Amino acid sequence: MNKSTISVDIFLDAQKLPEQIEWSASDSPKEQKQKAKAMCLAFWDGAEKAALRIDLWTKDMMVDEMGDFYYQMLMTMADTLLRATKQEDLSEEMKKFARQFSETFRKNLTGQQP
C-alpha cells in the first residue's frame, strides 16, 4: 500500500486568528509549501455517520474572494457527486444552485437587490 501525506500549517496572531495558511502534499510536484487564504477540509466519519469539518480563512481573505471560493467549492462538489453516484440530475441541480448563488452574491456586493 502506498502512502500520501497532506500537511497544513496554520499561523495564528496573538488573538489566535489565522494569519497565514500553508499546505503541502507528498505527491505534489511542487517542492515548496503552497499558500492559501482559506480552506475547508471535510472528513466522513462512517461510524458516527457525520461530516467532520475544519473551515478556516485568513484575515486578509476578501469578501468577494470568499464568494468565488464558495462558488468553486459548490461546482467541485457537484462534479464529485456525479463521479461518485452517477446522478446527473442532482449534479446539475447543484451547479444551477452554484450559479444562482454566485449571481446573488455578486449583486449583494454591489448593493443591488437579488
The mean pLDDT value of the chain amounts to 95
Asked if residue 38 and residue 71 are part of one domain, the reply reads: no
The helix (H) or strand (E) run that includes residue 83 is helix 63-85
Asked if residue 111 and residue 84 are part of one domain, the reply reads: yes
Cβ count within 10 A of residue 2:
5
Asked if residue 53 and residue 76 are part of one domain, the reply reads: no
The helix (H) or strand (E) run that includes residue 18 is strand 18-25
**The pLDDT of residue 5 is above 90:** yes
Q: Kindly report, residue by residue over 13-69, the tens digit of the pLDDT.
A: 999 999 999 999 998 888 899 999 999 999 999 999 999 999 999 999 999 999 999
Asked if residue 68 and residue 51 are part of one domain, the reply reads: no
Asked if residue 82 and residue 45 are part of one domain, the reply reads: no
54 by DSSP, 3-state: which?
Answer: strand
19 neighbors 11 (Cβ within 8 angstroms): yes
pLDDT at 113: 59
pLDDT at 73: 98
Asked if residue 6 and residue 50 are part of one domain, the reply reads: yes
Domain span holding position 72: 62-114
Asked if residue 72 and residue 55 are part of one domain, the reply reads: no
**Domain tally, the chain:** 2
Look up residue 111 and give its three cell numbers. Answer: 448593493
Asked if residue 113 and residue 93 are part of one domain, the reply reads: yes
Model's pTM, two decimal places? Answer: 0.87
Asked if residue 35 and residue 74 are part of one domain, the reply reads: no
Asked if residue 70 and residue 35 are part of one domain, the reply reads: no
